[in-house]
Structure 1
Amino acid sequence: MPSTPVSDPIAAILAARPLMILDGALATELERRGANLNDPLWSAKVLVEQPELIRQVHYDYFAAGADVATTASYQATFEAFARRGIGADEAADLMRASVQLACQARDAFWADQTNRAGRPRPLVAASVGPYGAMLADGSEYKGRYGLSVEQLMDFHRPRLHVLANAGADLLACETIPCLAEALALARLLAELPGVSAWISFSCRDGAHNSEGEPLADCVAQLDGYAQVAALGVNCSAPEHMSALIGQMRARTSKPLLVYPNSGEQYDGADKQWHGCAHSQPFAEQARDWHRQGARLIGGCCRTNPDDIRALAGWAGAAA
């Protein structure tokens, strides 16, 4: 555990408000606006080709009511960039650029005094995607990497150090399919004194992460890490959120976050979304999740600024 005080911007917002509103999807929103993400780099490809589009999406989420922007670094790894012929120095610059774009959008939004009424200054969370995202084969929804905690620490360490020093307010370790990877990230935080992060799992049903481990046991093992500021679930089916919140609430004292996908299913083999979005409006579902104990709520793949606007509208009316 770190010996220096941990910066916890999540706690600062939750001390004043009952709900922290996360943003929605970045990658699929970029796609919806015309970006071609049919690439192993996924949204990180847009860092190279259309950075101004990323900045605009971040700004639009702030305008919709989001209290945090999650950066376009989910799939930005040294290994993935190397496969595209991008060297380590340039890769690190692109990772830092992902944070700078979100900070620029936040600062531009906050510079307009009319945007400040009744709101905290928004945060920037540097996205740390799982090892499976680097593989670009859907492994973040399966786990079973065959790697030890130490090997996963070795994979994550270089990128984590870059992102932690790029100017973000915190780290967003997201779509984590297994406990081993979550523990690797939690332990690495000790190398970054003062830095806090949320850790969010991908889940297969209402009780288990993507690898099949009980989610309740996972959050219990992470509860003692002081630099883990919140625990939760993302990019999983919205119909499982209520059950998963119940599983987590009983085993951790940390704030709970949920940001599910739209309800459609992703096929990692053909890289396509199938099925239909959940029939219940997003904001109505979010109201139930908040009632059940979630303190940070947003959306993941296939959600958009309209969903966050509806959520912020409900949250504002309830405040």
Structure 2
Amino acid sequence: MRPVVLLDGGLGQEIYRRAANVSSALWSVAVMHEQPDVVVAVHSDFIRAGAKTLSLNTYAATPSRLLQHGQLEQLVTIHQNAFELLGQAVEATGACVDIAGCLPPLAGSYQGQPARSFEDLRDEYSVLVKQQAVADVLLIETMTNTLEACAACAAASELGKPFSVAFRLEADGKLKSGETLAEAVAAVSPYSPTAVMLNCCDPELISAAMPELVRLHPCVGGYANAFKSVEAMARGGLVDALEAREDISPQAYVAHVRQWLADGATVIGGCCEITPEHVRHIVETLADDYEFIRFSQWPVPNS
């Protein structure tokens, strides 16, 4: 059977759906302190669904965002909590999985190119890499421009562990910065990421772009969101302004995933609004054709 790396789904959105009355704008950070059982349960459900690589709940815990909300002094504690809660889920399930560190956009999702230098961005990502150094792998996610993506790659590559970089595409098939997919892959290739992927955009966009991406890098993949639109959040709104698409059922999502795999993808998973049930359906539907593995197991000898 062909080996395929299987990530988890939309961790933050699944936590948001289950948590109640979280007291902070950085709710994904606050919930680890106020309702830790919810975080453990979500991680556990993704593991039981079959995910082989699980992300830390630290997407919102960048120095820039914590500083904005007066919580920068909590950076170390937040990352320690994230590791502890994911560790509890791994222990409870007895599963053999990778723990993935998370390197997101530093100031917020769906923005254009930041007005910062490469060195400044790299130094901030290096802070995050230091906090996540015991992770098995690193996932650079939701990149909208090559400046930030390359800065994250530079920091991640210093750890000497497998890492990926995932770009978000707009409706025109380009990054928010206006750069093409080919330009984006060319920019990060000198850092030798294990995989280059597409994430947090419509599954239809990933399906359309996957054939090109497969030609651009040896190991590629995708994990889509199921939002109707992210424009409200791109304009500075909160996550509660976003709505899920009702048409992206587990069955509908696996149809896209099957196409990505047929086109040559080797890493799959889900982003916002892709639930444990979606991941479970991927495993149940495709298990006869693919062997699902951890990110750190790629490349598989003779694959």
Considering the TM-score relative to the shorter chain, is it more than 0.5? yes
Pairing 1:161-310 to 2, within 5 Å after superposition: 161-164=130-133, 167-192=134-159, 194-205=160-171, 207-226=173-192, 228-253=193-218, 255-266=219-230, 267-268=232-233, 269-271=236-238, 272-274=241-243, 276-278=245-247, 281-310=252-281
Q: Distance in 1 between matches of 2:15 and 2:279?
A: 16
Contact 1:22 1:296 in 2 (8 A): yes
Pairing 1:1-319 to 2, within 5 Å after superposition: 17-36=2-21, 39-86=24-71, 88=73, 90-110=74-94, 121-133=96-108, 140-164=109-133, 167-192=134-159, 194-205=160-171, 207-226=173-192, 228-253=193-218, 255-266=219-230, 267-268=232-233, 269-271=236-238, 272-274=241-243, 276-278=245-247, 281-319=252-290
Residue 84 of structure 1: how far off its partner (Å): 4.3
Q: Distance in 2 between matches of 1:83 and 1:52?
A: 27
Residue 303 of structure 1: how far off its partner (Å): 1.4
Residue 309 of structure 1: how far off its partner (Å): 0.6
Residue 300 of structure 1: how far off its partner (Å): 0.8
Match of 2:300 in 1: none
Contact 2:226 2:244 in 1 (8 A): no
Q: Distance in 2 between matches of 1:246 and 1:17?
A: 18
Residue 201 of structure 1: how far off its partner (Å): 1.1
Structure 1 pair 287–306 and aligned structure 2 pair: CA distance change class (3 A): same
5+ residue gaps, structure 1, are: 1-15, 112-120, 134-139
Q: Distance in 2 between matches of 1:151 and 1:303?
A: 33
Structure 1 pair 84–180 and aligned structure 2 pair: CA distance change class (3 A): closer
Match of 1:118 in 2: none
Q: Distance in 2 between matches of 1:69 and 1:206?
A: 31
Q: Which has the higher contact order (CA 8 A, sep 6+)?
A: 2
Q: Distance in 2 between matches of 1:38 and 1:284?
A: 38
For the residue of structure 2 that corresponds to 1:18, the secondary structure is: strand
Structure 1 pair 240–277 and aligned structure 2 pair: CA distance change class (3 A): farther
Structure 1 pair 311–162 and aligned structure 2 pair: CA distance change class (3 A): same
RMSD, aligned CA: 2.1
Contact 1:25 1:299 in 2 (8 A): yes
Structure 1 pair 218–304 and aligned structure 2 pair: CA distance change class (3 A): same
Q: Distance in 2 between matches of 1:70 and 1:32?
A: 17
Cα deviation per residue 1:38-65 (whole Å; 9 max; x = unaligned)?
8442412212222221111001001011
5+ residue gaps, structure 2, are: 291-303
Q: Tell me how many residue pairs correspond in the alignment.
A: 283
